């Protein structure tokens, strides 16, 4: 009897020990079923900004060309030369144009001589006509002779007018030849610095179809501008007078400051990407910046030095269906999808109507007491990594879930929380 009783005691102990072991294993499996990656909620600075690239140029850049064709006889300016308005910077061989001027001047002199001759003939014809009028009154000549002298006088007066026209034509041709001769002197149209020279001495330029560009002159390199290409999604954040900063590869550790002068309305489409030109005025009094440099620009449109920050990865996290099912209906998908203001009035078809503030309503999952809990929040500005929390049951130190792995799917190779 005692042996039988002892046997059952041993069996009971084994059963209890086995149950304890099984319970511990079950609890261990439950604890290891889901593994959460979390990030803490903290306070700090958030700067909302737009970035874009552009190129530097002078405020005014003048292309100096040639109105006439010819061979470059001399150059009086080179790269980086400082020039004044009206200064001679190049010379085209003037020999052909001087010959044209001489020929035009000779034609002008000949035309004036023909005019003087025509006037003398007109005066003589007029005298002859007046003499014939007197003779006709005395019946000394026939009517036909009088009419002939009258016609001759009129013709000679008309010849004077024609000769005067020839003189004006010759004068105009002379003036044109002199203007073309003057165009052989290439004059700087403004004060500035030569940033490009496109010709050499002895080179022939042809201005028959289009005026060739000989020099490129920047009016004042102490005042420059940056033309940036801003994406259409960001252009609404920019406005005139906005502060902008940029860096250039030549001075990677130095930040330059400018002001947005203009946001141009003309779109620029490249490979179906629409951008707009935002022009930034830059002070270049130390002449460090040079035309053509690439500028990496930053426009800050909002910032908060003491914002409650949530990682954007937590905003993109959505738990897998298996995890939602294990949490039960109260903390499952139905609750996770709702937040303050998210349930608007039903629209057509029974779907909730979207409000103007729906875009900033988000749901994050917070790990509390080892379990994920959905929390509805309203977000503010973002810097692309963190977002500002304006409303919601979050505080510093809360840990929001950014990824999850494990579950039954984890036993088949792991499962990461869906990100969208």
Give pLDDT tens digits for 127-175.
Answer: 998 898 888 888 888 889 888 989 999 999 999 999 999 999 999 999 9
In a 3-state reduction of DSSP, which class is residue 281?
A: strand
Q: Let me know: does 361 contact 3? Beta carbons within 8 Å.
A: no
DSSP string computed for 293-360? -EEEEEEEEEEEEEEEEEEHHHHHEE--HHHHHHH-SSSSHHHHT--TTTS--B-GGGPBPPPTTGGG
Of 108-112, 136-140, 308-312, 313-317, where does mean pLDDT reach its minimum?
A: 136-140
- pTM flag (> 0.75): no
Dist. CA 313–CA 333, nearest whole Å: 19
Dist. CA 112–CA 170, nearest whole Å: 9
Nearest to 308 by CA among 48, 49, 46: 46
Mean pLDDT, the chain, rounded, equals 84
Assign 405 a pLDDT band (cuts: 50, 70, 90).
confident
CA distances from 186 to 81, 85, 165 (A): 15, 11, 33
Dist. CA 36–CA 22, nearest whole Å: 25
Burial string for 211-221 (b: 16+ CB within 10 Å, else e) reads: ebebbbbbbeb
- Tally the C-alpha atoms within 13 A of residue 227's C-alpha that lie toward its C-beta: 12
Percent of the chain with pLDDT over 70: 81
Nearest to 87 by CA among 195, 205, 192, 198: 192
Mean pLDDT of 224-242: 93
């Amino acid at each position: 009897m005692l042996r039988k009783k002892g046997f059952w005691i041993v069996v009971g102990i084994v059963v209890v020990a086995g149950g304890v072991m099984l319970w511990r294993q079950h609890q261990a499996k439950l604890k290891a079923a889901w593994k959460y990656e979390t990030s803490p909620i903290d306070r700090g600075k958030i700067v909302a900004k737009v970035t874009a690239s552009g190129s530097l140029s002078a405020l005014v850049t003048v292309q100096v060309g040639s109105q006439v064709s010819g061979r470059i006889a001399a150059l009086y300016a080179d790269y980086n030369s400082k020039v004044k308005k009206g200064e001679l910077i190049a010379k085209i061989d003037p020999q052909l144009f001087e010959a044209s001027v001489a020929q035009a001047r000779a034609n002008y002199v000949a035309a004036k001589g023909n005019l003087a001759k025509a006037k003398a003939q007109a005066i003589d014809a007029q005298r002859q006509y007046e003499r014939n009028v007197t003779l006709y009154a005395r019946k000394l000549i026939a009517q036909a002779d009088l009419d002939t002298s009258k016609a001759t006088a009129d013709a000679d007066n008309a010849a004077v007018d024609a000769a005067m026209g020839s003189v004006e034509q010759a004068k105009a041709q002379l003036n044109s030849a002199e203007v073309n001769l003057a165009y052989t002197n290439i004059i700087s149209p403004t004060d500035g610095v030569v940033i490009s020279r496109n010709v050499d001495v002895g080179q022939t330029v042809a201005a028959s179809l289009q005026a060739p560009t000989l020099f490129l002159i920047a009016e004042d390199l102490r005042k420059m501008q940056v033309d940036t290409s801003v994406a259409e999604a960001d252009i609404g954040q920019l406005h005139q007078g906005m502060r902008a900063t940029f860096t250039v590869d030549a001075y990677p550790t130095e930040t330059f400051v400018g002001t947005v002068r203009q946001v141009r309305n003309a779109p620029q489409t490249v490979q179906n990407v629409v951008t707009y030109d935002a022009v930034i005025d830059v002070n270049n009094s130390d002449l460090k910046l040079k035309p053509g440099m690439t500028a990496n620009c930053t426009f800050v449109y909002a910032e908060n030095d003491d914002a409650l920050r949530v990682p954007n990865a937590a905003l993109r996290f959505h738990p897998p269906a298996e995890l939602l099912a294990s949490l039960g209906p109260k903390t499952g998908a139905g609750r996770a999808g709702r937040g303050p203001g998210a349930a608007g009035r039903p629209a057509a078809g029974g779907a909730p109507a979207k409000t103007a503030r729906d875009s900033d309503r988000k749901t994050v999952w917070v790990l509390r007491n080892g379990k994920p809990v959905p929390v509805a929040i309203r977000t503010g500005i973002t810097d692309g990594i963190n977002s500002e929390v304006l409303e919601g049951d979050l505080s510093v130190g809360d840990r929001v879930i950014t990824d999850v792995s494990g579950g039954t799917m984890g036993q088949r190779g792991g499962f990461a929380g869906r990100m969208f």
